[in-house]
Amino acid sequence: MTRSPLPSPPRLPPRQRRLQEVRAPPPQVHCRDTAIHNTFMCGDMKGVYAVLKDPAMVNALMETVHEEMVWAPEMGMWTLSSKVRQTTALHLAASRGHAACVEELLFRGAEVNADPGGNTALHDACTGAHSVCVQLLLSHGADSERLSADGSAPLHLCTSALSFHCAKLLLEGGANVNIRSRESRLTPLHVAAQRGLEEHVELFLSHGADVLATNQEGETPLNAACSRAERPSEAGRYLRVIQKLLGAGADPQTAGRKRHTPLHNACANCCSRIADVLLLHGAKADIKNCAGYTPMDCLLQVVEDYQTQQPEEIARSLLNHGAKPVSPKMLKLCAPVPAVLEVMLNSYMSLPPCEWMDSLSDEVYEEHGPFLDLVHQRSASPRSLQHLSRHALRLHLGARCHSAVGKLDIPSSVRDYLLLYNDGTLK
């Protein structure tokens, strides 16, 4: 008995067959050849042309091995582990800024939005601040708002001064200036403020960035800038960023979930000029965070670490804008910087008992003996009528002390006395 042959599948019309052939995805090629990886990483065009003789290499998956330190709980120690990462020739070239190589790959049909390792080539180009590559990728349809595996858009990765033109190209290409990262809810303005990037901040603001946007922790770009202004050498550019944000309508009283305001951060970083600007724009000098700390508390906790940054200027500004005198127990924190101790003691109506002085180290006494001896002698003693008058006037003016005294038609020496400027005495 013979079987009849199985019926053949219905034949598609010629046009549909051609469409199916065009749309059929090419077989994925995996490449682990380090020499080929290096060809695209180094932008060796002669080598690039040789590799691309095989059309499948245009979108081949490049598998690279990276050595990373990982915690091994079973061993209780950090160990070196090999991690395999996937990328493409376009990613490798764009991340190194090899524009000619990127252009050749795009011309040959490289998938511009492929993200085998969690990032697109546009993400990598922005991270490396390679603006020519960014322009090429955008002109070939790169998605300027695609989020990476870690939730970052290309604009979030413009994190260096050199990346300004990348950010500008993205915005000109239609990227959303207020796009949020996936989990942290950061906007590009948050990132630029954190990094102290003046040009980026100005660019984002000019394109309508929301200066009042809050991240997952409830913090605005102003909070972000004030928290990161930690190094004296960077204080100037962070100050300019903060001034731009305040000029655009940032609220210096906005606190995150921990009720930590920009002023708390400025005091914790001992940035006197930033603290002054915040106070002049309406920051509250006596507000408490969720731990019950005021900006003055934050300052006194770091006085010893920032002795050369004139912490007395911040203490004076806080007191002149309504901060209350601290508990006498906290005066011990001021001992390493007599100028701060002087300002604090002059905020009391009478000098409080100074039992805390008995616990000071010999090193502190050796360095600041004369002034500490004066404090010890005057401890719990009556103050002069001149000081009592100053205290009564300051108490009456409260938070208006700084602005009101500045308007009085009095000699500068009297004005300085009322505003607690240091003269090395305790009258």
Say which residues have a Cβ less than 8 Å from residue 235's Cβ, sequence separation at least 6. 229, 271, 273, 274
374 within some domain: no
Residue 56, domain CATH: 1.25.40.20
Going across the sheet that includes 30-31, the strands are: 30-31, 61-72, 77-87
Assign 409 a pLDDT band (cuts: 50, 70, 90). Answer: very high
Cα end-to-end span (Å), the chain: 125
33-85 residue pLDDT tens: 889 999 999 999 999 999 999 999 999 998 877 667 777 777 777 777 667 78
The residue written with tokens 């990373």 in the block is 68
Does residue 420 sit within a domain? no
Q: What is the pLDDT of residues 224-277, one digit of tens each?
A: 999 999 888 899 999 999 999 999 999 999 998 889 999 999 999 999 999 999
Residue 99 lies in a domain: yes
Specify if 322 maps to a domain. no
For the chain, what is the domain count?
1
% of the chain residues with pLDDT over 90: 72
| Average pLDDT score, the chain | 89
Q: Which residues span the domain enclosing 82?
A: 28-142
Q: Is residue 60 part of a domain?
A: yes
Residue 218 maps to a domain: no
Tokens of 288: 């408490």
Provide CB contacts within 8 A for 171, sequence distance 6+.
Answer: 155, 177, 203, 204, 207
pLDDT at 11 exceeding the cut of 60:
no
